[in-house]
């Protein structure tokens, strides 16, 4: 598996697809992914391959992935940008595909590309657009969401 935290990869997979698929498909994919995480069998679908990444405890889960994602951008020199996504009253700064690649890493992008079926270029473009907007919407008033709130956000 790639060097990233499984919960961060699951969150990124959902973010990459969420802006381009309707919520009922995301909900079905999450439910199928949860089934895979529990049973080891996939019902298929675009995000079926993310099922094994959705489990976990402690800092795991989609909400834990948000913290891992923020840490990745901060470690890549994007602290001010990442902080703009969660700080109320501060304009949300965007990303370039190159900034996403530096923060997430080549191995993680390869893993996401494989699991989502998206080309690397399409994945980078989608994440560059969707990460700032999604994190901003997940953290109203600067508060971190619970795993349940994160799943609800994605329609699960």
> Residue 52's domain spans which residues?
6-153
- Report the candidate in 41, 79, 4 with the shortest Cα–Cα distance to residue 13: 4
What's the structural domain count of the chain? 1
Q: What is the pLDDT of the chain when averaged over all its residues?
A: 75
More confident residue, 25 or 11: 11
Q: Please tell me the predicted confidence (pLDDT) of residue 51.
A: 47
- Does 20 score more than 70 pLDDT? no
Cα end-to-end span (Å), the chain = 25
CA–CA separation, 80 and 32 (whole Å): 36
Indicate whether 87 pLDDT > 70.
Answer: yes
Is the residue at 1 inside a domain?
Answer: no
In-domain check, residue 23: yes
Write the CATH number for 41. 1.10.10.690
Across 61-65, average pLDDT: 78
């Amino acid at each position: 598996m790639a060097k990233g935290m499984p919960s961060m990869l699951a969150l990124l997979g959902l973010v990459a697809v969420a802006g381009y698929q309707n919520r009922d498909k995301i909900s079905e994919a999450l439910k199928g992914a949860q089934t895979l995480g529990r049973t080891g069998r996939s019902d298929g679908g675009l995000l079926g391959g993310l099922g094994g990444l959705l489990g976990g405890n402690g800092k795991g889960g989609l909400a834990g992935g948000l913290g891992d994602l923020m840490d990745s951008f901060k470690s890549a020199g994007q602290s001010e940008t990442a902080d703009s996504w969660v700080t109320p009253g501060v304009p949300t700064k965007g990303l370039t595909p190159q900034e996403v690649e530096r923060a997430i890493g080549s191995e993680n992008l390869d893993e996401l590309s494989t699991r989502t079926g998206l080309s690397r270029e399409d994945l980078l473009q989608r994440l560059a657009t969707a990460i700032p907007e999604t994190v901003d919407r997940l953290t109203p008033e600067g508060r971190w969401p619970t795993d349940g709130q994160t799943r609800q956000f994605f329609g699960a």
